[in-house]
Amino acid sequence: MAVRQTSDAVSKVPPPLKIGITCFPLIGGSGILATALGTELAARGHTVHFFSYAKPVRLDLSAPRIHFHEVAVGQNSLFPCPDYTLPLAVKMAEIGRQEGLDVFHVHYAVPHATAAFLAREMIGDGAPKIVTTLHGTDTTLLGPNPQYRAAIEHALVNSDAVTTVSDSLRQQTEQTFRLHEQIHVIPNFFTPAKPTKSREEVRRELGISDEFLVVHMSNLRPVKRIDLLLRVMAQTSNRDRIRLLILAGGPFAPYEPLLDELGLRGHVLVREDAAAVENYLPAADAGLYTSEKESFGLSILETLFFGKPVVAFRIGGISEVVHDAAFLHEFGDIAAMASSLDQLVDSSELGRQMGERGRQRAEKYFTAANIVPQYEAVYREVITSQRA
Ligand code: GMT
Tell me the pLDDT tens digit for each residue of 131-179: 999 999 999 999 999 999 999 999 999 999 999 999 999 999 999 999 9
**Are residues 153 and 230 both part of a single domain?**
no
Q: What is the gyration radius of the CA atoms in the chain, in angstroms?
A: 22
Q: How confident is the model at residue 10 (pLDDT cuts 50, 70, 90)?
A: low
**Are residues 284 and 174 both part of a single domain?**
no
Question: Is 121 contained in some domain?
Answer: yes
pLDDT tens digit sequence for 235-253: 999 999 999 999 999 999 9
What are the start-end ranges of the E strands in the chain? 18-22, 47-52, 66-70, 103-107, 129-134, 161-164, 184-185, 212-218, 242-248, 268-271, 286-289, 310-313, 327-329
Question: Is 162 contained in some domain?
Answer: yes
pLDDT at 3: 43
pLDDT at 26: 84
Q: Is 189's C-beta closer than 6 angstroms to any atom of ligand 1?
A: no
Q: How many residues are listed for the chain in this entry?
A: 388
Residue 100: how many other CB atoms lie within 10 Å? 11
Question: Is 347 contained in some domain?
Answer: yes
**Are residues 172 and 252 both part of a single domain?**
no
**Are residues 121 and 212 both part of a single domain?**
no
Tally of structural domains, the chain: 2
Q: Is 219's C-beta closer than 6 angstroms to any atom of ligand 1?
A: yes
Report CA(152)–ligand 1 centroid distance (Å).
Answer: 17
**Are residues 304 and 259 both part of a single domain?**
yes
Q: Is 152's C-beta closer than 6 angstroms to any atom of ligand 1?
A: no
**Are residues 179 and 287 both part of a single domain?**
no
Domain that holds residue 63: 15-189+368-384
Residues 6+ apart with CB under 8 A from 174: 183
Pick from 129, 41, 110: nearest CA to 374? 41
**Are residues 176 and 49 both part of a single domain?**
yes
Question: Is 178 contained in some domain?
Answer: yes
Q: What percentage of the chain has pLDDT greater than the value 90?
A: 91
Question: Is 348 contained in some domain?
Answer: yes
Question: Is 2 contained in some domain?
Answer: no
**Are residues 250 and 297 both part of a single domain?**
yes
Question: Is 5 contained in some domain?
Answer: no
pLDDT tens digit sequence for 184-221: 999 999 999 999 999 999 999 999 999 999 999 999 99
Question: Is 9 contained in some domain?
Answer: no
Report CA(135)–ligand 1 centroid distance (Å).
Answer: 6
Atom of ligand 1 nearest to the CA of 31: 8
**Are residues 41 and 116 both part of a single domain?**
yes
**Are residues 180 and 310 both part of a single domain?**
no
Cβ pair 59, 251 in contact under 8 A: no
Report CA(200)–ligand 1 centroid distance (Å).
Answer: 31
**Are residues 274 and 377 both part of a single domain?**
no
> Which CATH number covers residue 136?
3.40.50.2000
**Are residues 91 and 236 both part of a single domain?**
no
Q: How confident is the model at residue 272 (pLDDT cuts 50, 70, 90)?
A: confident
Report CA(237)–ligand 1 centroid distance (Å).
Answer: 31
Q: Is 250's C-beta closer than 6 angstroms to any atom of ligand 1?
A: no
